[in-house]
């Protein structure tokens, strides 16, 4: 087996929001790796730190957020140590980011074509002929008629706006595309169609993807590996299939109990009682213990380490054996 270096290696990453009530640790000691061309899904409820983690990886954090510890290696180089000038060379060209809401990320008073042109020119000088060719090419890639280069964001449907965002992320054929719930604002049919498109592009272009969502069912057929995040920490990580077929952490099991199915017998679902903790004062011991149906005495005081299961890493005392 040829061992190739991962495209992305995050090690012990912690991020704090400095508030007047103290530091909120939104990401706490996260480690993960993404191989070349791999699709990593990150799932968890709102407020678990998913966006903060992605922003930290992309070096897009701004005050009051700051990286408190850890490293982010992109193609072997430590991004945490890079200054803005160095970052400008890699950001967008080697890795790009697709945000949750195109409505917020696109400029409402510029046409899609003008925004693509800006994005291209910010990174390399190019003739207008070349810019037009590349813009038309990426629009076709994401399934939008290049006619819409002349459209303003509000003239496009929600699904087309998200596609335009993805087109923008692909202008330089990056090696890594970081996506923060890019389909959450869409209805089910548009969401499905966008997911298929992303997967198809990933196969064709070969970029690695980090894809965040609160809806675990969404990535079931798309990601190679899955990381489950709770209260700033990764609590389970493994091959997507094995996490779905045999979820280990009680939180993962709860997430699996949250979405109704259209096939099979109709069963009553319970979801997960309660809500994620305030990260200013996370619970002692296992952070999930106040909501956990399998809680044991030691869970209240002792923080679980990662236990190694055959296909999975899981952070729960039930697997201490």
Partner 1 sequence: MNADSAPLLETAGLTKHFRLGGYLSNRILHAVDDVDLAIGEQEIVALVGESGSGKSTIARLIARVYRPTGGEIYFRGRPLSAMRSRSEQLAYRGRVPMIFQDPYGSLSPVYRVSHGVLRALKLHRPALSKAARDEVAAQLFESVGLTPGSDFLDKYPYQLSGGQRQRVGFAQALASNTELILADEPVSMLDVSVRIGLLNLMATLRREMRVSFLYITHDIASARYVADRLIVMYAGHIAESGPTEDVLAHPKHPYTQLLLSAVPDPRAPISLPATSSVAEPPRVVDPGEGCRFRQRCPYAIEECALVTPRLRLLRPAHTAACHVATSDIGVPAKEQAATSR
Ligand X SMILES: Nc1ncnc2c1ncn2[C@@H]1O[C@H](COP(=O)(O)OP(=O)(O)O)[C@@H](O)[C@H]1O
Within 5-64, the residues that bind partner 1 by CB under 8 A are 45-46
Asked if 70 and 12 count as a contact pair (C-beta separation under 8 A), the reply is yes
* Binding region for partner 1 (CB under 8 A) out of 16-24, 97-105, 120-128, 181-189: 181-189
Q: Which does 215 bind (CB under 5 to 8 A by kind): partner 1, ligand X, ligand SF4, none?
A: partner 1
Residue from 49, 174, 250, 254 touching ligand X (CB under 6 A): that is 49
- Smallest separation (angstroms) from ligand X to the CB of 61: 10
Q: Which does 279 bind (CB under 5 to 8 A by kind): Mg ion, partner 1, ligand X, none?
A: ligand X
Q: Is the peptide bond before 230 cis (omega within 30 degrees of 0)?
A: no
Indicate the helix (H) or strand (E) that contains 168.
helix 158-169
Q: Which residues of 156-176 are buried (b: 16+ CB within 10 A; e: fewer)?
A: bebbbbbbbbbbbbbbbebbb
- Smallest separation (angstroms) from ligand X to the CB of 188: 12
Of the two residues 2 and 188, which places its CB atom closer to Mg ion in the complex?
A: 188
Name the β-bridge partners of 212. Answer: 42, 180
Q: Which residues are near Mg ion by CB under 5 A?
A: 51
Residue from 94, 282, 296, 306 touching ligand SF4 (CB under 6 A): that is 296
Q: Does 191 bind partner 1 (CB under 8 A)?
A: yes
Of the two residues 179 and 231, which places its CB atom closer to ligand SF4 in the complex?
A: 231
DSSP 3-state of 24? strand
Within 199-258, the residues that bind ligand SF4 by CB under 6 A are 249-250
Backbone φ, ψ for residue 298 (5° rounding): -65, -25
Q: Does 163 bind ligand SF4 (CB under 6 A)?
A: no
Number of residues that bind ligand SF4 (CB under 6 A): 14
Name the β-bridge partners of 11. Answer: 71
- Smallest separation (angstroms) from ligand X to the CB of 122: 26
* Sheet with 39-43, side-by-side order of all strands: 95-98, 176-180, 208-213, 39-43, 225-230, 233-239, 312-314, 307-308
DSSP 3-state of 13? strand
Locate 270 and state its tokens: 């319970």
How far is residue 243's CA from residue 228's CA, in Å, rounded to a whole number? 9
Residue holding tokens 């899955």?
Answer: 226
Tell me which DSSP letter residue 81 carries: T
* Binding region for ligand SF4 (CB under 6 A) out of 30-38, 67-75, 112-120, 296-304: 296-304
Following DSSP, what letter does each residue of 263-284 receive, concatenated? SSS-------SS-PPPTTSPPS
- Smallest separation (angstroms) from partner 1 to the CB of 320: 26
Q: Does 101 bind partner 1 (CB under 8 A)?
A: no
Rg, the chain, Cα only: 20
Residue from 294, 297, 308, 311 touching ligand SF4 (CB under 6 A): that is 294
The residues of the shown chain that bind partner 1, judged by CB under 8 A, are: 45-46, 143-144, 157-160, 163, 187-197, 199-200, 214-218, 220-221, 244, 254-264, 266, 268-272, 275
The residues of the shown chain that bind ligand SF4, judged by CB under 6 A, are: 249-250, 286, 288-289, 292, 294-296, 299, 304, 316-318
The residues of the shown chain that bind ligand X, judged by CB under 6 A, are: 17, 19, 24, 26, 44, 46-52, 64, 279
């Amino acid at each position: 087996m040829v061992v190739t270096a991962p495209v992305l290696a995050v090690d012990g990453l912690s991020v704090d929001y400095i508030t007047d009530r103290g530091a909120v640790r939104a990401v706490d000691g996260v480690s993960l790796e993404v191989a070349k061309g791999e699709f990593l899904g990150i799932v968890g409820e709102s407020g678990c730190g998913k966006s903060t983690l992605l922003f930290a990886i992309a070096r897009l954090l701004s005050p009051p957020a700051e990286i408190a510890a850890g490293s982010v290696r992109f193609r072997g180089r430590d991004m945490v140590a890079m200054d803005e000038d160095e970052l400008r060379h890699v950001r967008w060209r080697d890795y790009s980011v697709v945000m949750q809401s195109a409505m917020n990320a696109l400029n409402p008073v510029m046409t899609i074509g003008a925004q693509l042109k800006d994005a291209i020119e910010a990174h390399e000088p190019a003739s207008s002929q070349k810019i037009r060719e590349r813009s038309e090419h990426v629009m076709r890639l994401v399934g939008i008629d290049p006619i819409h280069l002349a459209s303003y964001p509000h003239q496009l449907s929600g699904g087309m706006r998200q596609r335009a965002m993805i087109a923008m992320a692909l202008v330089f054929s990056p090696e890594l595309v970081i996506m923060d719930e890019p389909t959450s604002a869409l209805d089910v049919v548009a969401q499905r169609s966008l997911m298929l498109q992303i997967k198809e592009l990933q196969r064709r272009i070969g970029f690695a993807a980090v894809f965040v969502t609160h809806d675990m069912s969404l990535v079931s057929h798309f990601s190679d590996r899955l990381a489950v995040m709770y209260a700033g920490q990764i609590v389970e990580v493994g091959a997507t299939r094995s996490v779905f077929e045999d979820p280990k952490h009680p939180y993962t099991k709860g997430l699996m109990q949250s979405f109704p199915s259209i096939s099979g017998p109709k069963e009553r679902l319970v979801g997960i009682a309660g809500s994620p903790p305030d990260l200013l004062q996370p619970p002692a011991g296992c952070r999930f213990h106040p909501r956990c149906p399998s809680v044991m005495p030691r869970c209240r005081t002792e923080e679980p380490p990662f236990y190694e299961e055959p296909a999975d890493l899981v952070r729960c005392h039930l697997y201490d054996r």
